[in-house]
Amino acid sequence: MTTLAGWQLVLAFLIFPGVVFTSFVGLTLTWVDRFVSARVQWRKGPPFYQPFADMLKLLLKQTVVPAGASKVTFLGAPMIGFAAMCVTAVLLFYVNFFPHGSFVGDLIVLVYLFALPPLSTILGASASRNPLSAVGASREMTLYLGYELPFLLALVVPIIHTHGAIRLGDLVLAQRTAGPFLYSWSGLIAAVIVLVCIQAKLGYPPFDIAEAEQEIMSGVLIEYSGAPLALFRLTKAMMFFLMPCFLVTVFWGGLTSFWAIPELLAVVVLVILIKNTNPRFKIDHALRFFWFILGALGIIAVILAFGGL
Amino acid sequence: MKDPRIWGLKKSPWVYHLAAASCNNCDIEVLELLTPRYDVERFGIVLVGSPRHADALLVTGVINRKSLPRVLEVYEQTPKPCLVIGVGTCTCNNHIFLNSYNAVGPYDKYLPVNAYVPGCPPKPEAMILGVVKALSKL
Amino acid sequence: MRDAEAGLKSLIPEAEVFEHNPKRLHISIPRERLTEAAKYLHRERGMRLATCTGIDTRAGLEVLYHFSEDKTGTMYTLRVLAPKDDPRLESQASWFPATDWIEREMHELLGIDFPGHPNLVPLLTSDTDWDREKYPLRRDYERRNEAHER
């Protein structure tokens, strides 16, 4: 079946694969992150229920709105990113399990949906009435300008391989017959570019420039407390699950292939290892890195894709 | 079932380090506490960059006439419920600055302190004990 | 005799040199010649100001300017005396940024006035909870201050 009835859509949005499922898996993946980081540093790490305890504690804490901050924007900004991630979850899973149901341009819709969480942090930071959060917001904006360029270039590569299909469903079907795009030179380069852009989009080292704890006291999130902060962290946890899903969908054979779960775990562990072994970039270095190094790699990948490799 | 608010606070106390006119000796020990050797993350303790994210304020240093209004301001900005843990003997009773013209007495004259950790500076193990005791009293 | 010492004595004949040990010289000068001596040691001799110290003695408020000659490792200390009833010393902050904060601290803690200082506001003591007429590092300061006592 390719269309869902109304109540099935609501169920898909709320339970599986929407809010509840993605939140649960996302929070468990953040525990995996803390566990692997702890082992890499030769220590024990938190117990498995730690992310859930964090969420519970934050939801039950007092929410402080700074005086003079725009109340509606301040409290409403986290919801934008959260809603975007919930819709993304449904879309991604639907496209993977029912590839014939995807519509023209849903790849572009997904790119826009993934752009909403950084936008919601920028909005929230600008509504905070705090000079440090303004610095964080400007850094987040600059970083976004940086990584979106090679991200889009890398996404052009699978489109070229399938001779112009901008439906995610067509990309998934093509990978089922011809093999994952990763197993070609241009696909490999594009997947590496998307991996680095995932690191930046999640705000993990070496690109945690916007939320630099030691420099600008948690930059974008400095004034947030209680439930809005919990929403921001939940959005980030959901992105930690959904962005590797996106990478696997577009480059590595889709979520219905036999190796889907190990592939997802491999991407997650790669992100964690990069996070643990790199110091932070400066914002101008990061911009130059994304535009000139990754951008050049992206162009090379596109040329290779045109050449058939 | 115990109060979920207290359970959440006990299992995931996020710590903000507030240095009020300290000689920085206790601050260095707090920094050592947060290194992988003592691994406080197994208690859920994470160092956060902003007082608004904090559940526990680790205050160090003898409180000064000049830093007193600022410490009170930071305490007001921290969302409740929040713990206050005084690290170092200077927080308990001014220590070597006892009759100084600038030191204005132990912290509990102005803030509700949950635990004091004496020592100059206290060992990281003593600080862990202090935090755990403060959490278990909740 | 060292070159710096000779040069200083030719500039200021009233200077008295006391050699504490081969690496430390104390040079007492009248307070009107302070700027000249400091400029000579810093600009012409290339010495670095290590720090300044002040103390309340029976003779008056004594301020020491410690200049370090890093080439030889010798410390040249200029001693100036400001009498208790007229505690003024010429400010060096306008040409020597290193003395800026030091003079602010001496002003609020010892009560020495530095005419010519661009910004003589208190540095360490509280802006809200402090009596400006009391100088803590003077000998006659009452150690126990009533306001915050238990």
Q: Which of residues 63-92 of B touch C (CB under 8 A)?
A: 64-66, 68-69
The whole-number average pLDDT for the span C122-140 is 84
Chain A nearest-CA residue for B8: A57
> Residue C150: which pLDDT band, with cuts at 50, 70 and 90?
very low
B124-136 and B4-11 helices, crossing angle to 10°: 170
Q: Is B36 on the interface with C (CB under 8 A)?
A: no
C near B: at least 3 beta-carbon pairs less than 8 Å apart = yes
Q: Does B94 touch chain C (CB under 8 A)?
A: no
> Could you give the percent of chain B with pLDDT greater than 70?
99
Q: Give the tokens for residue A167.
A: 């439906």
Lowest-confidence range among A36-45, A191-200, B101-110, C109-118? B101-110
What is the three-class DSSP state of B61?
coil
B12 touches chain A (CB under 8 A): yes
Domain boundaries, chain A: 17-306
Q: DSSP letter at C126?
A: -
> Token pair for residue C39?
């400029």
Instruction: Examine the pLDDT at C147 and tell me if it is beyond 60.
Output: no
Which CATH number fits the domain that encloses residue B16?
A: 3.40.50.12280
Q: Provide the token pair at A299.
A: 């162009």
CB pairs under 8 A between B and C: 28
Q: Quick: pLDDT tens for C97-107.
A: 989 999 999 99
Q: Which domains does chain C have, with CATH numbers?
A: 3-138 (3.30.460.80)
Q: Which helix (H) or strand (E) holds B83?
A: strand B83-87
Would an 8 Å CB–CB cutoff place B102 in contact with chain C?
yes
- Alpha helical stretches, state H, C3-136: 3-11, 34-39, 100-110
pLDDT single digits (tens) A203-239: 888 888 887 666 677 778 888 988 999 999 999 999 9
- The answer to whether the Cβ–Cβ distance between A217 and B50 falls below 8 Å is yes
pLDDT in tens, A94-116: 888 888 878 888 889 999 999 99
Three-state secondary-structure class, residue A206 = coil
Each residue of A28-80: pLDDT tens digit? 999 999 999 999 989 988 999 999 999 999 998 888 888 888 889 999 999 99
Q: Looking at chain A, which subunits does it touch, using at least 3 CB pairs closer than 8 Å as the criterion?
A: B
Q: What pLDDT, on the 0 to 100 scale, is given for residue C146?
A: 53
Question: Please, what's the b/e burial string for A91-130 (b: 16 or more CB within 10 A of its CB; e: otherwise)?
Answer: bbbbbbeebeebeeebbeebeebbbbbbbbbbbbbbbbeb
Q: How far apart are CA C79 and CA C26, in angstroms?
A: 7
Measured between beta carbons, which residues in chain B are less than 8 angstroms from residue C108?
Answer: none
Residues of A in contact with B7 (CB under 8 A): 53, 56
Mean pLDDT, rounded, for B9-14: 89
The Cα-based distances of A75 to A128, A270, C18 in angstroms read: 10, 34, 71
Closest CA to B79 of B113, B59, B53: B53
Judge if the upstream peptide bond of residue A17 is cis by omega within 30 degrees of 0: yes
pLDDT of residue A174: 87
Q: Looking at the predicted structure, is the pLDDT value of residue B43 above 70? A: yes
Instruction: With beta carbons less than 8 A apart as the criterion, state whether B11 and A57 touch.
Output: yes
* Both structure tokens of A229: 């902060």
Contacts of A156 (CB under 8 A, 6+ apart): A298, A302, A305
Domain span at residue B50 reads 4-136
Question: Which tokens hold the place of A165?
Answer: 């299909």
Residues 6 or more apart whose CB falls under 8 angstroms from that of C90 comprise: C31, C32, C34, C35, C114, C115, C116
Give the confidence band of A24 by pLDDT, cuts at 50, 70, 90. Answer: very high
C126:B64 CB<8 A: yes
From A272's Cα to the closest Cα of chain B, the distance in A is 17
Closest among C119, C122, C118 to C105, alpha carbons compared:
C122
> Is the Cβ–Cβ distance between A229 and A74 less than 8 Å?
no
Residue spans of alpha helices (H) in chain A: 6-14, 19-40, 50-59, 71-97, 106-126, 131-161, 168-178, 185-202, 213-216, 226-251, 260-277, 283-288, 295-306
Query: How many domains, chain B?
Result: 1
Whether chain A has a CB inside 8 Å of the CB on B8: the answer is yes
| Average pLDDT score over residue span B66-94 | 91
> With 70 as the cut, is the pLDDT of residue B14 above it?
yes
Q: Give the closest-approach CA distance of B118 to chain A in angstroms.
A: 27
Q: Which residues of C touch B71 (CB under 8 A)?
A: none
CA–CA separation, A246 and B80 (whole Å): 39
**Is the pLDDT reported for residue C141 higher than 70?**
yes
Task: With a cut of 60, say whether residue B89 has pLDDT above it.
Answer: yes
Cis peptide leading into B106, omega within 30 of 0?
Answer: no
Q: Using 50, 70 and 90 to split pLDDT, how confident is the model at C1? A: low
Q: List pLDDT tens digits, range A246-303.
A: 999 999 888 888 888 999 999 999 999 999 998 888 889 999 999 999 999 999 999 9
CB contact under 8 A, B11 and A62: no
